[in-house]
Amino acid sequence: MQTIVVYKSISGFTKKYAEWIADELNADIFKLSQTNKNILEKYDTIIYGGGLHAVGIAGLKKMKKMLQEIKNKKLLVFATGASPRKKGLIDKIKKDNLNNENIELFYFRGGFDFGKLSLGYKILMFIFVNILKLKPKKTEDDIGMISAYEKPVDFTKKEYINDLIASVSK
Ligand X SMILES: Cc1cc2nc3c(=O)[nH]c(=O)nc-3n(C[C@H](O)[C@H](O)[C@H](O)COP(=O)(O)O)c2cc1C
**Site of interaction with ligand X (CB under 6 A):** 9-15, 51-54, 80-83, 110-112, 117, 121, 124-125
* Nearer of residues 124 and 146 to ligand X, judged by Cβ: 124
* Nearer of residues 87 and 170 to ligand X, judged by Cβ: 87
Torsion of CA 112, 84, 76, 99, to 10 degrees: -100
Residue 86 C-beta: closest distance to ligand X, Å: 10
Closest by CA to 50, choosing from 37, 38, 65, 63, is 63
